[in-house]
Amino acid sequence: MTGRQHYEVVAWRADRRLTLYVPCLEASTTVDDPRGAEEAVLGLIADLTGDDRERITCDIRLGRPWRSGI
């Protein structure tokens, strides 16, 4: 496979953590520090898909999956 794989990610605050949800994979992870959000979600996607992290891009936006049209 060549090219980059792009994923949409929805994030929201809960219990002093940031929840990151990847709707197309129906998977989520959490981080304590929002500055680690992109690394955490790239790792999650790479682990679940088997893709190299370097091939993965994502857009993280604040919201809730059931309120954001996903």
Domains of the chain listed by start with CATH number = 5-62 (3.30.160)
pTM of the model: 0.85
* Distance between CA atoms of residues 44 and 13, nearest Å: 18
Which residues does residue 62 pair with via DSSP β-bridges, in sequence order?
Answer: 11
In tens, the pLDDT along 9-21 reads: 999 998 899 999 9
Average pLDDT, the chain: 91
